[in-house]
Amino acid sequence: MPQGRADEEALTADIVALASQFGRYGYRRITALLREAGWAVNVKRVERIWRREGLKVPQKQPKKGRLWLNDGSCIRLRPERPNHVWSYDFVESRTHDGRKFRMLNLIDEFTRECLAIRIDRKLRSTDVIDVLSDLFIQWGVPAHIRSDNGPEFIAEAVREWIAAVGARAAYIEPGSPWENGYCESFNAKLRDELLNGEIFYSLAEAKIVIEGWRRHYNTKRPHSSLGYRPPNPEVIQWPASPPGTASPATPAVAPKPVMH
């Protein structure tokens, strides 16, 4: 009688645990998480256990068309490098008392990293400028910023400010959300993997939970278009500096001032 592998039971338990934690992940993303955790396992074996345990594979996202001109040329602006094209959009949700709150999501289309999620009951054009100014200081000014034609994005103050810092605003055609596909895809993942399964009892709780998900999305969540790697994985320094040691560039004891 076949005995099976010695680690089959432990691997099955880890697969079930990950599937329970990340209910919308398929077996390929679960495989990437298992490898990150130290398992030397291939996709076929995970798929076999996945189907044997009756785990549900999420349905694939429908394919979205592109916008083409009459001569067959595609007019979509494509990201070519990090910090080339950013895109941003609004998403709405509610706290348990039925009150709405809005999220301003901003991503780098090339790296797929979510740079920020600003959350508040109301977000206006001044909030857009505030978020962008903080990110420009941290990451630099991108070449293009893509958005829809919402009043917060096409406000004169926003357009003038973006032009003044050296970036170019790229607005999609009205009624054509597929032109902002990167941000639309991110919004769908945020809603499917978090918002649809959470009850927020306060705005403060929503900010903490959503920010935690954003960090997980950037550093842990396997991304299929990046070869099942996260957009910005965490880097751990090894060996770590012993506690209490000073940096080579910083003296352990500050020198005493010389009195003249």
Taking a C-beta distance cutoff of 8 angstroms, is the pair 66, 74 a contact?
A: yes
Q: What percent of the chain has pLDDT over 90?
A: 29
pLDDT tens-digit profile of 156-167?
788 888 888 888
From residue 93, alpha-carbon distances to 98, 100, 149, 191, 202 in Å are: 9, 6, 20, 9, 12
| E strands, the chain, in order | 85-94, 100-108, 114-120, 144-147, 168-171
Mean pLDDT of the chain: 79
- Which comes out higher in pLDDT, residue 88 or 24? 88
Please tell me the least confidently modeled range out of 132-136, 146-150, 242-246: 242-246
